[in-house]
Chain A
Amino acid sequence: MKYLLNILSLVVVCTILSVSLSAQNNYVKSAVVLYQNQKLDSAAIFISKAIEDEETSDKASTYYYAGIIFKDIYNKREKTDHESPYRDQAIESFTKFLQLNEDEKLVPAIEKSLTYLINTVYNDAVVLLNKNTYKKSIELFNKYKKLQGYNNPDADISKIDIQYHLVLGQVFSELYENDRESNETYYNKVVETYQYIIDIDPENWSANYNLGIHYYNEAVNKIKDLDYDLDLITLELIQDECVEIFKQALPYMKKAYELNPKRKETLIGLSGIYFSLNELELSEEFTEKLKALEGEK
């Protein structure tokens, strides 16, 4: 069934192509004929020549065919290649087509194709969002944002941006926790990532909570790792440092509580932070709130 659909769409595309071929020069004609015969590599070579050719480089139809040929190659061969040059070329060609085109009838189909290709960039960014390939993922996500901004400037991608950065924050956090001494730079990356979300949406519960926990964990880990032979002067200095970090955690955890007072995690977090700050009455207050909440369920 899928095969039949492919054949059918190919016939439709070829029909559209042959209608307007008369006005094209040899490069475009050759590319279309080769494409009709499924000689995709040769079709790509000829359409690339047409793009460079003075006679056809400013014609919308050249980019229309180029987009179709490149997109087809991407779909058939490079779908798993996150850096597919054919996808880039297809996006570039369709974008150029939309700039030059004067025939409104073709616009919806090309916009749909363009949206599809841009979404594959987003999908790849998400697939690569892990400890090993996050750098490539960021690159692709920024590319997605740039393309989306150009293709659909009115679209609000802040939700996607926030979701992506929440997971990115988690990736940085895992990298940091794996080896806190060697991966110190990730500590700041976690802060920057959650702060980026809070700047976009100060009411984001997850970012506030996660940033609060990040600071809290940092101070807790510093205390947890203290050597038994530590002298009291150094202990005093480390306590000073940790008090400051616990204080950094507090406003974010308080904000998370303000945003959703019924989340157990925030009550536990606030109780923990106040406990570590030796504000035991406040710590107990949140422990009681937690007990009350658990009693409600």
Chain B
Amino acid sequence: MLKKLQYIRFTLICSLCFLLFTSFQNQYNTNAKIKSLFIYNFAKYIEWPNTYKKGNFIVGILGDHPVYDELQKMAQQKKVFDQKLEIVKFSSIDQIKKCHMLMVSSKMESKVNEANNKIKPYHTLLITEKEGLGKSSDINFVVVGNKQKFELNKPNLTKRNLKVSNNLLSLAIVIE
């Protein structure tokens, strides 16, 4: 009898140990998913010049960033209007090529100015994710009240000949 009770208690303890290990499978980068949704909305609510409306819609990522994997998953299912979504990783400034958007990861923040110079010939939307970079880039992810928001630098976008819809402007922290 005692043995049976001990066995049952042992089973209970085993179940608890199992619980501790199963709970971890949900480790997931929530910020990357949210940023990828913002990026997809930028693609829909910003208008590029006509020459950019043909071929693939290219999103470049400078440096390692978890948003790359999220965007890759998205690219398998979604298009930007009629354009196929293509996600490209650039490990250095030299590798940067013509693209619709270029996201500079926070680890590469020191390279923002160089990246900016590199994309000057193109109509590329420059995205950063560091407090204080809103003036250097076109869109800068910031955290407000534990949430992801974005700063939008209107003059910079105008310089690049990119048109922003009012819908997007109404949700942005606009830098005039």
Interface residues of A (CB under 8 A from B): 116, 119, 122-123, 126-127, 163-164, 166-167, 170, 173, 206, 209-210, 213, 216-217, 219-221, 223-224, 226, 228-233, 235-236, 239-240, 242-243, 246-247, 265, 268, 272, 275-279
Contacts and interface: CB of A to CB of B under 8 A. Distances in A.
Given A123-B8, A265-B20, A217 B37 contact: no
Contacts of B28: 220, 223-224
A71 to B, nearest CB: 13
Contacts of B147: 236, 239-240, 243, 278
Q: Which 4 residue pairs are nearest across A and B when measured between Cβ atoms?
A: A278-B143, A223-B30, A213-B23, A276-B30
Nearest to B73: A228
B9 interface: yes
24 contacts: A126-B12, A163-B12, A163-B16, A167-B15, A170-B16, A206-B20, A216-B26, A217-B26, A220-B26, A223-B28, A223-B30, A224-B28, A231-B41, A232-B171, A235-B37, A235-B41, A236-B171, A239-B148, A240-B147, A243-B145, A265-B24, A275-B31, A276-B31, A278-B31
B110 interface: no
Contacts of B145: 243
Nearest to B149: A236
B19 A170 contact: yes
B33 A224 contact: yes
Contacts of B23: 210, 213, 217, 265
A233 B171 contact: yes
Given A231-B41, A232-B171, A170 B30 contact: no
Contacts of B12: 126, 163-164, 166-167
* Chain A binding surface SS class: helix
A123 B146 contact: no
Given A119-B1, A216-B26, A235-B34, A228 B78 contact: yes
* Chain B binding surface SS class: helix
Interface string B1-44: 10011001101110110111001101111110110111011000
A119 B5 contact: yes
Nearest to A219: B30
Contacts of B29: 275
A105 B85 CA distance: 86
A126 B11 contact: yes
Given A123-B8, A228-B74, A243-B146, A272 B27 contact: yes
A236 B12 CA distance: 42
Nearest to A231: B41
Interface residues of B, number: 39
A174 B9 CA distance: 20
A295 B25 CA distance: 23
Contacts of A210: 19, 23
Given A167-B16, A170-B15, A278 B26 contact: no
B165 to A, nearest CB: 11
A122 B23 CA distance: 27
Given A243-B146, A268-B24, A123 B78 contact: no
A7 to B, nearest CB: 20
A163 B1 CA distance: 19
A230 B74 CA distance: 12
Nearest to B150: A232
A279 B16 contact: no
A47 B146 CA distance: 71
B108 interface: no
B77 interface: yes
A247 B147 CA distance: 12
B46 interface: no
A265 B74 CA distance: 31
Contacts of A126: 8, 11-12
B168 interface: yes
A118 to B, nearest CB: 11
A243 B27 CA distance: 16
A167 B19 CA distance: 9
B27 to A, nearest CB: 6
B37 A230 contact: yes
A85 B30 CA distance: 53
A58 B161 CA distance: 99
Interface string B152-176: 0000000000000001100100000
